[in-house]
Structure 1
Amino acid sequence: MRKLFVVVLCVGLLLGGVVSAQETIRIGANLEMTGAVAAYGQMIWEGVNLIREIVGDTVLGKKVELVLVDNKSDKVEAANATTRLIDKENVVAIIGPAISGSMLAAGPICEEKQIPIISATATNPLVTQGKKFVFRACFLDPYQAAAAAQFAREDLKAETAAVLSDIAQDYCVALGNFFKEEFEKRGGKVIVEQHCKTGDQDFSAQLTTIINANPDLLYVPNYYTEIALICRQARDLGYEGIILSADGADAPELFSVGGDAVEGLYHTAIWDATKGLNDIGQKYIDLYKERFGKDPNMFGALGADAYLILIHAIERAGSTDPVKIREAIEDTENLDVVTGKVTIENGDALKPVVVRKVEGGKFVFVKTVTVE
């Protein structure tokens, strides 16, 4: 430790002054750079660095220094990385793991040590529940389902609905339940509920029951393969009503499996990579396309959001005190980030939900929905 100090001091003197740790603001990045979900962490890291090119890396007159630690897509490693970033690297805040399991391991440590941590993409409600120093940049599944129900009632004018959800996936079941609750809260009626399982190929029994009930809308909050097959079989059986899904539809395979049958499908999404909802979002999209020659991904965009939320919180706090930064994050309201505007409430992100429609074999932006 003494040798390291001497080296830094000498470099500082050579540059004409003493280098102080106070001249930088250290932010940790506890991400999945290797392991089972390495792609998620790598995309988030890519987004964080890209947005730094756009907005700069200085806040309160100090340079922001990012300290990356690979959690190897492992809960124990995520906890260890959190401890290292706080105790050894002296970070004032952390951009946390991508997945909920690792955030659930990291969050309690940050809570105990009073260091704010924000995940780009962890959606489990337990991640932030009962915590003051744990945040997320993405919306929760209940919020997405509520947005779908609001869109179904107000824009699609659906009075009745059917729900066909994948009972083998907690994500799908939860979305279906939350949609029903919100749809009926808004005066609609879910007249039939059916279930399938991941890997099913034949949905004729469920669809026959649904078609006989004659709902205005069919809500299928599943993953893309089952959605595509359900659309094909529903159309073959003569169903002509509206089909609405969630962000599980967002994959190229929806089109290759569903073909013409998915034409007209609506779905809710985190964002639309072809249309910036504000100036910072458009700049991000343009730079990403210029740099990589393709549309940006959701994980990188939400990583950029997490960075922007932190930087603006530090600026508003006027301090590098982690407690004051935490307070400023919680006070975030209508902040322009890459995916739109975001407000933080009880650690969770409230932001517009994008609605898209399949037209001509591709997703086309329809509108954004802010749950009221």
Structure 2
Amino acid sequence: MKRIPTIGMALGAALVLCGGAFADDAEIKIGLAASLTGPYAPYAEVEGARCMADKLNKAGEGPKITLLVEDTRSEPQLSVSIAQKFLDQGAQVITGIPFPDSLIPLSQLAANYGATVFSTPNTQVEMQVAGFDNFLAGAVPDPVNGAATAEAVYKAGARTAVIVTSADAGSWSEMLPRWFGQAFEHHGGKVVGELTHSLGTTDWSPQIARLKAMDPVPDVFMISSMLPDVGILIRQLKANGYDGWIVGTDGFDDPSLEGSVGDAAALEKVIFATHGPTGLDSEIDAFLAGCKAAGFKVQGIFDALGADMVLETHAAAVKAGSVDPVEIRKALRAEGGNPGITAPVISYAENGGFPVKTVPVIGFKDGKRVLVSDSNPSFVPSWR
């Protein structure tokens, strides 16, 4: 399914927006306080951002892009101190660990500099509810993602579900499964139980024992968690004879998922919502392949989101004819949007802090990824 323009088309669209000539020393600084190591490292956007900056700088149109990158070790407080350093170095855009305990203080700091916090993987509603004028997320909020999988799995025939929550990663791990449940019941399904877990779980036997004790065993096991936990979970569920649907979120969208599970048959009833179709010979895959060929160690969809941030920021500066941080943000939020990799045009004019995008739901056939759906869900639970 072709839904993204080629990188050449996206770059061309960005450069044609030029609002005026720039001085030779005009520069956009983007500071990435990034999870290069630690549990969030598989979801870092840095290599995709580097690849896009390299492409734009080689094109030679508009201001130069400089990326400032330091490792947060997946520690929220460290990301705040690193981001402060980037602001002091003149960064117009910064980002950090994509959770509120990092992003709220970053947004408060950045406001004093006129800078924008642009968190490409952020999906948590806390940042949207907080309503920071200088915050942008690269993805749609969690209730939308949960609603997309609920609609897809109900259409596939599921009628009962158990949801599995955790307080460890804010609303992403705690509320998203409940929003899934609300949407699932809206369509006619029923949530028959709620279990809990902690990030870093390697032994899922307590949850599996409670699942097997339900009569009847529910059609759906829904969880918002990440690798390696979910790979272990899928293996253990299948080893214990569970034949229902395993429904997940963007934390499942790691290229190592298939290898972690190991058995193609175990993936047949696994689906998850994500930010763009990867592993499907899509235009996003073509972009990532080009980055790999150029020597960038991109991994998957989160690198495409990092490329979005750089491409959109550059296009906004060109549109504004300025590298002033406030003018860049105005152009990022302006009607008409700016070109992206995960969508042809990414607009913030309608929703404020999050973009207008469809939600791809990915499944598996013979161990290969397939696109189950790619649309806006017909019902989204209230969350504001």
* Smaller-chain TM-score bracket: 0.7 to 0.9
Q: 1:34 to 1:21 in 2, by over 3 A?
A: farther
- State whether residues 276 and 285 of structure 1, in contact with CA within 8 Å, keep that contact through their aligned partners in structure 2: no
SS across alignment from 2:122: coil
Between stretches 358-367 and 106-115, larger displacement belongs to: 358-367
Between stretches 247-256 and 140-149, larger displacement belongs to: 247-256
Whichever residue aligns with residue 179 of structure 2, its letter is F
CA RMSD of aligned residues (A): 3.4
- State whether residues 111 and 134 of structure 2, in contact with CA within 8 Å, keep that contact through their aligned partners in structure 1: yes
2:140 aligns with: 139
Counterpart check, 1:156 vs 2:162: no
- How far apart, in 2, do the equivalents of 1:354 and 1:244 lie? 13
Shift of 1:308: 1.5
Between stretches 258-267 and 111-120, larger displacement belongs to: 258-267
- State whether residues 29 and 96 of structure 1, in contact with CA within 8 Å, keep that contact through their aligned partners in structure 2: yes
Counterpart check, 1:206 vs 2:210: yes
SS across alignment from 2:45: helix
Q: How does 1:3-18 map to 2 (within 5 A)?
A: none
Superposed CA deviations along residues 220-257 of structure 1, whole A, max 9, x for unmatched, are 4443322332244343xxx4x54433233345456554
1:230 aligns with: 237
- State whether residues 309 and 329 of structure 1, in contact with CA within 8 Å, keep that contact through their aligned partners in structure 2: yes
Whichever residue aligns with residue 48 of structure 1, its letter is A
- How far apart, in 2, do the equivalents of 1:76 and 1:173 lie? 22
1:7 aligns with: none
Shift of 1:23: 3.4
1:48 aligns with: 49
Superposed CA deviations along residues 161-216 of structure 1, whole A, max 9, x for unmatched, are 3123144655443221010122233x32324123143332254543345451665x
Alignment partner of 1:310 out of 291, 309, 313: 313
Q: Percent of pairs identical after alignment? A: 20
- How far apart, in 1, do the equivalents of 2:315 and 2:325 lie? 13
Shift of 1:314: 1.9
SS across alignment from 1:29: strand
Q: 1:55 to 1:273 in 2, by over 3 A?
A: farther
- How far apart, in 2, do the equivalents of 1:282 and 1:52 lie? 18
Q: How does 1:285-296 map to 2 (within 5 A)?
A: 285-292=288-295, 296=299
Whichever residue aligns with residue 347 of structure 2, its letter is T
- State whether residues 358 and 376 of structure 2, in contact with CA within 8 Å, keep that contact through their aligned partners in structure 1: yes
Whichever residue aligns with residue 224 of structure 1, its letter is G
2:10 aligns with: none
2:96 aligns with: 97
Shift of 1:55: 4.2
SS across alignment from 2:247: strand
Counterpart check, 1:183 vs 2:184: yes
Higher-helix-fraction structure: 1
Alignment partner of 2:251 out of 245, 248, 255: 248
- How far apart, in 2, do the equivalents of 1:347 and 1:244 lie? 27
Shift of 1:97: 1.6
Shift of 1:139: 3.1
Superposed CA deviations along residues 308-356 of structure 1, whole A, max 9, x for unmatched, are 2212222333333322322222236565422234333221234232222
Q: 1:293 to 1:301 in 2, by over 3 A?
A: closer
Counterpart check, 1:261 vs 2:289: no
Shift of 1:271: 3.0
Whichever residue aligns with residue 117 of structure 1, its letter is V
SS across alignment from 1:296: coil
- How far apart, in 1, do the equivalents of 2:285 and 2:37 lie? 32
- How far apart, in 1, do the equivalents of 2:334 and 2:94 lie? 18
- State whether residues 253 and 301 of structure 2, in contact with CA within 8 Å, keep that contact through their aligned partners in structure 1: no
Give TM-score scaled by structure 2 length: 0.74
Between stretches 63-72 and 111-120, larger displacement belongs to: 63-72
1:347 aligns with: 353
SS across alignment from 1:320: coil
- State whether residues 312 and 339 of structure 2, in contact with CA within 8 Å, keep that contact through their aligned partners in structure 1: no
Q: 1:258 to 1:79 in 2, by over 3 A?
A: closer
Q: How does 1:28-67 map to 2 (within 5 A)?
A: 28-32=30-34, 36=38, 39=41, 44-56=45-57, 62-67=62-67
Higher-strand-fraction structure: 1
1:330 aligns with: 333
Q: 1:172 to 1:82 in 2, by over 3 A?
A: closer
Unaligned runs of 5+ in 1: 1-19
Q: How does 1:102-141 map to 2 (within 5 A)?
A: 102-128=102-128, 129-141=130-142
Q: 1:202 to 1:55 in 2, by over 3 A?
A: same
- How far apart, in 2, do the equivalents of 1:151 and 1:66 lie? 41
Unaligned runs of 5+ in 2: 1-21, 379-384
2:28 aligns with: 26
Whichever residue aligns with residue 93 of structure 2, its letter is I
- How far apart, in 1, do the equivalents of 2:163 and 2:40 lie? 32
- How far apart, in 1, do the equivalents of 2:308 and 2:34 lie? 18
- State whether residues 78 and 105 of structure 1, in contact with CA within 8 Å, keep that contact through their aligned partners in structure 2: no
Shift of 1:298: 2.9
Q: 1:98 to 1:298 in 2, by over 3 A?
A: farther
Q: Which has more radius of gyration?
A: 1
Shift of 1:366: 3.3
- How far apart, in 2, do the equivalents of 1:130 and 1:174 lie? 19
Give TM-score scaled by structure 1 length: 0.76
If asked which structure has higher relative contact order (CA below 8 Å, sep 6+), I would say 2
- How far apart, in 2, do the equivalents of 1:189 and 1:27 lie? 48
